[in-house]
Structure 1
Amino acid sequence: MEEQKMGEVTTENPISDRSPVSLLSQVKYEHLVAGISGGVTATLILHPLDIIKTRFAVNDGRGHNIPKYNGITNAFVTIYRQEGFTGLYRGVTPNMLGAGASWGLYFLFYNALKMRLQDGNIDKPLSATQHMICASEGGFLTLLLTNPLWVMKTRMCLQYEGAKQKYEGLVDCCMKIYRDHGARGFYKGLLPGILGVSHGAVHFMVYEELKRNYSVYKNQPISTKLGTIEYLAFAATSKLVAATVTFPYQVIRTRLQNQNYSYNGVLDCVNQTWRYEGWRGFYKGLGPNLVRVIPATMITFVTYENISHLLLNYKLNASANA
């Protein structure tokens, strides 16, 4: 075999032989911690609006002993007058656990899936479709782990005067659901929840596209930390789009989880809602929901972005100084 001549270019390409980045190697606890922090902070501040949104969503206008309110302000005043301050924070424990776990796990899974597609390079741009796929996969994994918390949160939020079932706390709620419905009771509303994964997909796709286009406009790497105003604006815009497009699934999911009235599955709930309320029935509670979720998302994302950047930079600096 002839020796290779000096300066001759070889055909080997070490880059092409590089093994693909594994998903596990991209799992970073910093995203989990930052997501939990954002979710818990937003929930503690805005839980009363979640109470109001939940009660609006289950009110189908056909009685069932469900209290009726004339708008958000009337609902807030009525609940406070009849149930006190604690009434505005019914279900806050499972809501806080659910929001913290959901946002933490969502950001953890989403970023790991995204980094795998980026081959570990955080400045490698992805398409809108790729962002949507990562968000859908992350949302599905998160839903399977957190649906029991959302069932308990919904039931505890619906403990008004005359309700069929009352709970003395999170543990009591858990035990009664298992006693009455078994393990399947914790997964009521799972099917519309799976359909609702589209909400997170639309939300994160719009958010990432806004950040990417802004970074292109500013001629800076897409991983560059933005200002608080930019994060607030992008979070609010993306949430408004996603919430409006996908809100009907939330109404159906909430009604299926309601302990005070029963439907024979998703299709029965959809049929009855359409029959008695028309298309407007699928958007009941949209107003208070937007009032709640847009500020909540703004708080969550600003908290997440700042804490995640802080933790990741601290880890990077610690490694550099080691």
Structure 2
Amino acid sequence: MTSQRHNGLSPASIETIAGLSAGLVSTIIVHPLDIIKTRLQVDTSSHPLLNSSRAVFRDIIRNEGPTRLAALYRGLSPNLVGNSAGWALYFLWYREAQDAIRSLRGYAPEQQLTSVDYLTASSASGILSAILTNPIWVVKTRMLSTSATQVGAYPGLIHGLRAIYKTEGVRGFFHGLTPTLFGVTHGALYFTAYEKIKLWRKRSKQSETLSNVDTIVASSLSKTFAGTLTYPHQLVRARMQTYDPSAITYVRGPGLVALIKQIWVNEGLVGYYKGLFPNLLRVVPSTCVTFLVYENTRWALPRLFSDTSENAAVTPSRKGERAL
């Protein structure tokens, strides 16, 4: 993989812009489902998943926020910042990690990486982006799990970051980081499956060109597979990041191992999967949108910033397709 620039845009810049755009669009579309998922994750009672999702949705639109739209989009600012920064960093470092692996292993430019290579690149980029964005996710979880009308609830991202630093110190920004790092396996499983499905599809079509439908199918199958296997870490993380907005001082909850045992004793196996249904409703279309925006933006940027002669030298793709 080369580091050729496209009239001022390096491959790294293209990956970052594409990832940032993808994160923004997908987050705005599915944010209400994120609220429902978070409310179910922090609920310690036992409810059928589908009925709970409906109950939470009805409660939000009836009792929270000055308007229904405001209630459904509470916490959008940290979600936008976190997802956009997270995807941008992830795609940037994912590209850089693949380049580093190719260089270290002496691969030819067109040689395909192995599953282990993709797993390594995805894990490394996932760990780095998770550490840097964790403070944003703490604020997001706390905003999505509380009503704007509750005493002590964070009104926005900056206020939340300041409140955490004041009451909990720097350590407060990293609540839930341990399960988040365990959750890197989700990204690793997802990207490995995604890359392999894309490669299989290219071979079956005998073409290096994939359609938008191919991208949707590959991302949906990969996300469902990885999301179901690794979902419990999301629930554990959410519970470690919550707080009592009415408390004067922060009261630390149980540690990771104690919390896992507590969920098992009080809620059983189903307790680890609360919110799975709205999460799949959220992440599958979100991932489809993310990768459609990402792949198309990555394809379009070099052409937008190329001159006419360069564009003429590029073999045009069929409508609705791009060279991946």
**Deviation by residue 1:127-185 (Cα, 9 ceiling, x = unmatched):** 11111111000000101111111111111112238856312222211111111100110
Q: Which runs of 4+ in 1 moved over 6 A?
A: none
**Deviation by residue 1:235-269 (Cα, 9 ceiling, x = unmatched):** 00000001000001000000000113852211111
Aligned equivalents of 1:122, 1:297: Cα separation in 2: 28
- Relative distance call for 1:317 and 1:156 in structure 2 (3 A) is same
- Relative distance call for 1:314 and 1:85 in structure 2 (3 A) is closer
Tell me, what secondary structure is at the counterpart of 1:71? helix
The TM-score normalised by the length of structure 2 is 0.83
Q: 1:31 aligns with which of 15, 18, 23?
A: 15
- Post-superposition shift, 1:74? 3.0
Tell me, what secondary structure is at the counterpart of 2:268? helix
Aligned equivalents of 1:122, 1:77: Cα separation in 2: 54
Aligned to 1:182: 169
Tell me, what secondary structure is at the counterpart of 1:28? helix
Q: Does residue 1:139 correspond to 2:126, yes or no?
A: yes
Instruction: Give the share of equivalent positions with the same residue, in percent.
Output: 37
- Post-superposition shift, 1:292? 0.4
Aligned to 2:262: 272
Q: 1:153 aligns with which of 126, 140, 159?
A: 140
**Deviation by residue 1:254-294 (Cα, 9 ceiling, x = unmatched):** 00001138522111111111110111111111001000000
Q: 2:53 aligns with which of 50, 66, 72?
A: 72
Structure 2: gaps of 5 or more residues: 4-9, 245-250, 312-324
Amino acid at match of 1:156: M
Aligned equivalents of 2:100, 2:308: Cα separation in 1: 24
Aligned to 1:218: 205
Amino acid at match of 1:307: T
**Deviation by residue 1:13-63 (Cα, 9 ceiling, x = unmatched):** xxxxxxx989xxx8611111101111110111110000000000000118x
Aligned to 1:55: 39
Aligned equivalents of 1:299, 1:177: Cα separation in 2: 32
Once structures 1 and 2 are overlaid, which stretch shifts more, 183-192 or 70-79?
A: 70-79
- Post-superposition shift, 1:301? 0.5
- Relative distance call for 1:188 and 1:122 in structure 2 (3 A) is farther
Aligned equivalents of 1:265, 1:164: Cα separation in 2: 26
Aligned equivalents of 1:271, 1:196: Cα separation in 2: 18
Which structure has the larger Rg? Answer: 1
Aligned to 1:81: 62
Q: 1:255 aligns with which of 235, 239, 242?
A: 239
Structure 1: gaps of 5 or more residues: 1-19, 63-67
Amino acid at match of 2:72: L
Q: Does residue 1:192 correspond to 2:179, yes or no?
A: yes
Q: Give the length in aligned residue pairs.
A: 291
Asked whether the 8 Å contact 1:39–1:96 carries over to 2, the reply is yes
Aligned equivalents of 1:194, 1:109: Cα separation in 2: 16
Asked whether the 8 Å contact 2:36–2:57 carries over to 1, the reply is yes
- Relative distance call for 1:313 and 1:125 in structure 2 (3 A) is farther
Aligned equivalents of 1:318, 1:267: Cα separation in 2: 60
Asked whether the 8 Å contact 2:202–2:209 carries over to 1, the reply is no
Q: Does residue 1:298 correspond to 2:288, yes or no?
A: yes
- Post-superposition shift, 1:315? 5.2
Matches within 5 A, 1:302-317: 302-314=292-304
Aligned to 1:10: none
Aligned to 2:219: 235
Matches within 5 A, 1:119-138: 119=103, 123-138=110-125
Aligned equivalents of 2:148, 2:120: Cα separation in 1: 43
Once structures 1 and 2 are overlaid, which stretch shifts more, 310-319 or 119-128?
A: 310-319
- Relative distance call for 1:281 and 1:311 in structure 2 (3 A) is same
- Give RMSD over aligned pairs: 2.5
